[in-house]
Homo-oligomer: A and B are copies of this chain.
Amino acid sequence: MTWSHVDNKWPTDGLSFGADYNPEQWDRSVWREDMKLMLEAGVNLVSLGIFSWGLLEVADGEYDWTWFDEIVDLLEENGIAIDLATPTAAPPGWLLHAHPEMLVVDHDGVKHWPGARLGWCPSSPVFREHSLRIVRALADRYGARDHVVMWHVSNELGGGNGHCYCDVSAAAFRRWLRDKYTSLDALNAAWNSAFWGHTYRDFEHVLPPRGNDSKNPSLVLDFDRFSSDELLQQYLAERTVLKEIAPGLPVTTNFMVGAEQDAVDYPRWSPYMDILANDHYTRSSDPLPQQDVAFSGDRMRALTTDRRPWMLLEHSTSAVNWQPRNRAKRAGEAVRNSLSHVAHGADGILFFQWRASRGGAEQFHSAMVPHAGRDTVVFAAVKELGAHLRALAPVQGSRVRQARAAILFDDEAGWAVQKGVKPNNELSYGRPLRDWHRALWERNIGVDVVSPWDDFSGYDTLIAANLFVVSDQNAARIAHFAESGGTLIVTPNSGIVDTDNQVRLGGYPGAFREVLGAWSEEIHPLQVDERFTLDTGWTGTDWTEHVHADSADVLARYVGGSLDGAPAVTSRTFPSGGRAIYVSAGLDSGSVAALARSVVPSIGEPDLPGDVEMLVRESDTEAFTFFINHGSADVSVPGTGVEMLTDTDIVDFLDVPGGTVRVLRRPRT
């Protein structure tokens, strides 16, 4: 399944450091200052040209390369490498004016007018033709330039055009369905379309799930798959052009990987990336943003082959602008976030964007050079980070040590559990994944966030949380994991439906009922103000089930309520020593942590003081141990080697001041 991202050398010497660079917003006098400040900060890579289509192709087939030549020259002169973007995220005004039919139409038939980004229909042949033409022209002109070291295809594909419901998309959806199902009988069976009498008599009668009324969930899931596939086709078409012209350069696009289901199906896209790249933004409302950074890194790493390094193409030096209230980052937070990404496997740290815009829709988004200029906390942190990354150059190419535990993540599961009407319609896909991740992360137990089709060997713990959709084959592999000695943990809403989004009959969770030795006959969602308590003292909200522990032990039972005395958490032990644990109730995160302590005991993971996160990257010969102190108290941790950021020899104990990061380098033993 993997394609090519294993074969490329890293685009920069040492770790990459930089930002999206949008010089077209500024006078040439600013460009000179930019170069000076980039060198001051240690920038060695910029993503260039992401929004430049309209400035390069100034009318249909008419190009103005002058200014771009100039900036490419300038970057080269200053020794800064270029991650060259195809500018297809932002079609020019003249193209949208000539072809308004390429604009995205939402599920209510409302056209999304120009003014933002990515407003094009992924199935539009007009867009496809024009976009490949500018990609070809750009690659022809710059593909052989020395400092162009990688391709950045479009930008955050799916972020603004994840779904289009126009007639062109409808026709493309029908083609996709014909390819998938071949016959209408197969489609009608897969969709259980006899329900509400929706049996199709002609592929031409199929429509996208337009409107707000409840729809057939099987159709909706297929439309989600189709929508992801259509955008992937755009990526692949651009990639083909780029590979034809500049076969030696790695091609990628920037994902947006977090704990919730993705805009498009990144795990199924990742084989087509030469270097895996991510954009990651923490949220102001997140009480533990550093764990979101960790989760994202634990996913990114597992999306690569053999846990190879990946690239962080965007994050923020401080506040973003798209939330209700955009928190500024705290002292040291941007540095800690950045080095945490490195610790989780990133070999490049870039920001959106180099210089904060004066105007435009993101004028209040932070950048490496803020509105207030260079004499600021933000730019000082940028310089500090640049120095750290230079000091960490030896880390480049090393890999994160194998994790013990794996959490399963699948966009199809996330999409399916979040759409349609469910027993409890107020839950997120990612919360239980975050809770279980946190329970291990807080104890410095490594976690990989993997796909259900991945190889589970090497893990001792496997967590299936909200894994709503699962194939028979993957369900069997997951069951086998427990039967053959692993600890399998299954939480509510896992294994409920098959890949057609149809319920597995005979008791929940259908796909895992047998391995768990327990089954649920009915889901008992709680109202928003209701809580439950278990006989272990654990508590929770949102979700309970009426479980029968046929061949499993009961770890916790309900106390009070309509399920008084019934099992809430069960555990089946196999002769192999493997266990299959069913956590059928919506435990609070503190109770998840308590349960995790009992079913996933520590094996040599250090019990570090305070809020210190520890990760190890390893090359063939050396180990790099990252200590990230998220707390404000200074701590001391056991360790010996050379601290890379302070260039200090450490014997036995390493001081990690509050809010800082320390990296210990030592030979592998």
Q: For the complex, would chain A's binding face be called helix, strand, loop or mixed by DSSP majority?
A: loop
Query: Which of A87, A194, A523, A562 has the most chain B CB atoms inside 10 A of its CB?
Result: A194
With A364-B421, A426-B324 as known contacts, state yes or no: A562 contacts B330, CB within 8 Å.
yes
Collect the chain B residues with CB atoms within 8 Å of residue A81's CB.
none
Complex CA distance for A284 and B423, rounded to whole angstroms: 11
By beta carbon, the residue of chain B nearest A206 is: B93
Collect the chain B residues with CB atoms within 8 Å of residue A109's CB.
110-111
Q: Are B115 and A210 in contact (CB under 8 A)?
A: yes
A524 at the interface (CB under 8 A from B): yes
Q: Are A546 and B377 in contact (CB under 8 A)?
A: yes
By beta carbon, the residue of chain B nearest A319 is: B423
Complex CA distance for A107 and B359, rounded to whole angstroms: 22
A541 CB to closest chain B CB (Å) equals: 10
Complex CA distance for A641 and B369, rounded to whole angstroms: 66
Please give the count of copies of this chain that the complex contains.
3
With A525-B328, A562-B331 as known contacts, state yes or no: A93 contacts B423, CB within 8 Å.
no
A204 at the interface (CB under 8 A from B): yes
A267 at the interface (CB under 8 A from B): no
A384 CB to closest chain B CB (Å) equals: 16
By beta carbon, the residue of chain B nearest A50 is: B197
Of the candidates B117, B199, B521, B562, the one whose C-beta lies within 8 Å of that of A196 is B117
Q: Are B507 and A53 in contact (CB under 8 A)?
A: no
Collect the chain B residues with CB atoms within 8 Å of residue A94's CB.
201-202, 205
> Chain A 291-335 against B: per-residue CB contact (8 Å), 1 yes, 0 no?
000000000000000000000000000110111111110110000
A424 at the interface (CB under 8 A from B): yes
Of the candidates B192, B214, B327, B362, the one whose C-beta lies within 8 Å of that of A524 is B327
A394 at the interface (CB under 8 A from B): no
Q: Are B328 and A198 in contact (CB under 8 A)?
A: no
Q: Are A364 and B423 in contact (CB under 8 A)?
A: yes
Of the candidates B114, B192, B323, B422, the one whose C-beta lies within 8 Å of that of A357 is B192
By beta carbon, the residue of chain B nearest A95 is: B205
Q: Are A357 and B195 in contact (CB under 8 A)?
A: yes
Query: Which of A22, A109, A522, A524 has the most chain B CB atoms inside 10 A of its CB?
Result: A522
Complex CA distance for A284 and B192, rounded to whole angstroms: 28
Residues of A within 8 Å of B, CB-based: how many?
A: 114
Q: Are B97 and A204 in contact (CB under 8 A)?
A: yes
Collect the chain B residues with CB atoms within 8 Å of residue A22's CB.
194-195
A14 at the interface (CB under 8 A from B): no
By beta carbon, the residue of chain B nearest A507 is: B372
Complex CA distance for A112 and B108, rounded to whole angstroms: 8
Collect the chain B residues with CB atoms within 8 Å of residue A507's CB.
371-373
Segment touching B, from A343-351, A436-444, A497-505: A497-505
Q: Are A425 and B359 in contact (CB under 8 A)?
A: no
Complex CA distance for A231 and B638, rounded to whole angstroms: 73
Complex CA distance for A284 and B523, rounded to whole angstroms: 14
Q: Please list the 9 inter-chain residue pairs (A to B) with the smallest Cβ-Cβ separation, ordered nearest first.
A: A195-B360, A192-B359, A116-B213, A51-B197, A90-B197, A113-B210, A359-B502, A372-B507, A93-B205
Given contact pairs A24-B194, A192-B360, A319-B423, enumerate 9 new A-B contacts (beta carbons under 8 Å). A22-B194, A51-B195, A93-B205, A115-B210, A115-B211, A318-B522, A324-B424, A359-B503, A372-B505
Measured CB to CB, the residues of A under 8 A from B are 22, 24-25, 51-55, 58-59, 87, 90, 92-94, 96-97, 108-117, 119, 160, 191-202, 204-205, 207, 209-211, 213-219, 284-285, 318-319, 321-328, 330-331, 356-364, 366, 370-373, 375-378, 420-426, 500-503, 505-508, 519-528, 542, 546, 562
Complex A-B: 13 CB contacts under 8 Å: A58-B201, A109-B111, A198-B360, A216-B361, A217-B361, A285-B527, A324-B424, A325-B528, A363-B503, A364-B421, A364-B523, A372-B521, A376-B521
